[in-house]
Each structure stands twice: as structure tokens, then as C-alpha cells.
Chains A and B, each alone.
Chain A
């Protein structure tokens, strides 16, 4: 089982550019959540996708958008990058079919580290 895979692992962008991050969930999982983790902080919830729709969203601006594909993989897009967007972006998958506990035991990918210059 490959677990959750994310790409790219590292990337550098400049202010104003756009970035797309990709995630493949763990086999058997159909729900994908995205988190932003700044250095020394806990992960902050961006949004969650299920059945190709955004199901929940955290306090992030519309510059942050996403998509889920029929094979459950997902993309996170960030437009008009700011210096403050520099962070580790974590993708996590879960399966709501396992009830409250299973639905919220997240399996995280190793993350994509974004640096905005």
C-alpha cells in the first residue's frame, strides 16, 4: 500500500505566481483533506473533498481552490501567491464509511513544501 502520495515534494515560486499541488489518497479512501502547516505550527484546515465536491472549507481566501477527480485524487491550487503562503501543504485521506472514528483518522502524505520568494 503506497499510502498517500503528494507531488511535488519541494517547489519554489515567486510572488504573484500560481501553483498546483497534487495528491493521491490511500487505497480504499475516498475523502481528501488539505492542510497548511507553517513552521512551528499545527496543520490548519483548508478544505475537504468528497465525491468530487468541496464538502467543508476552513478560513482561507478564494485564492485557494481545489478539485477532486473521479479516481479520488485531488489538486490544490493557489493563485496570486504571497510570501505568507510559504508552508508545508499536507494532504490527508480518510474513509467516511468507517463511521466517526474511521472518518477522522487521517492518513497524511509527506507534504509539499512551498517556498514563495
Chain B
């Protein structure tokens, strides 16, 4: 089976940097995704890691350590529109996406 742990809620200030951590246990691993979901809207793809290391895409970066079962999503220069839930998502051995419960990020002025 799989288990994904991420904080339930985080608060940060506009313009700051925030790191959302995710730890996981899984018997099979084919990659890790991060999705963003604004309240009442559909999830949208942010990033994908399959090898260890950092993937950078604009203000967003994602890191993976397969040996530690650990990933993080780093958001820089926070904007009010970044207030959303961030879903840590495993691609398991049968290529099914397993979503975590999400971290609700509140960006304050």
C-alpha cells in the first residue's frame, strides 16, 4: 500500500518563500507529482520528479529524495493567488496516481 503525509495547513506572507514537505511510503514508485487546487476548482499540474534532485520552474521548485521517501514544493515570491491546496501525488507501481490529502496554504498580505 501507500501512505502520503503532508501538513494540513500552512500560512505565509506575500513576497516570502514557503516550503511544503511531503513524506511517503510505497511499495512501488514511478514518480511524484505536485498539483495545485484552488477552492472549488479542479487540480492543475505543477511539477513532476522521477529522479532525485531539484526541478525548477519559475517561482516553483520541487525536490525529491527517493531513498528518504521525501519531497518538497518550494514557492518563492509568494503572491495572494498562491493561496490554494497543494497535493503531493505518487505514481505507484501500476501507474495509478495516489493523492495526498493536500496542504492548504494561506498567503497573507
A42 and B33 contact, CB distance less than 8 A: no
- Residue B7 is within 8 A (CB to CB) of chain A in the complex: no
Out of A43, A48, A90, A106, which one reaches B45, CB within 8 Å? A106
The residues of B that contact A44 with a CB separation of less than 8 Å are 99
* A42-B42 CB under 8 A given contacts A56-B96, A104-B95: no
Q: Which of B44-64 contact A (CB under 8 A)?
A: 44-45, 48, 50
Q: In whole angstroms, how far apart are the Cα atoms of A104 and B101 in the complex? A: 19
Out of A42, A101, A108, which one reaches B100, CB within 8 Å? A42
B91 and A109 contact, CB distance less than 8 A: no
B102 and A42 contact, CB distance less than 8 A: yes
Total contacting residues, chain A, CB less than 8 A? 24
DSSP majority for the A interface? mixed
A104 and B91 contact, CB distance less than 8 A: yes
Out of B33, B42, B96, B102, which one reaches A45, CB within 8 Å? B96
B102 and A41 contact, CB distance less than 8 A: yes
Binding site for B on A (CB under 8 A): 4, 33, 35, 40-45, 48, 56, 58, 90, 100-101, 103-111
Binding site for A on B (CB under 8 A): 4, 30-31, 33, 41-45, 48, 50, 87, 89, 91, 94-102
Q: What are some 25 contacts across the A-B interface (CB < 8 A)?
A: A33-B97, A40-B102, A41-B101, A42-B4, A42-B89, A42-B99, A42-B100, A42-B101, A43-B87, A44-B99, A45-B96, A56-B96, A58-B96, A90-B43, A100-B50, A100-B95, A101-B48, A101-B50, A104-B33, A104-B97, A106-B43, A106-B97, A108-B44, A110-B41, A110-B42
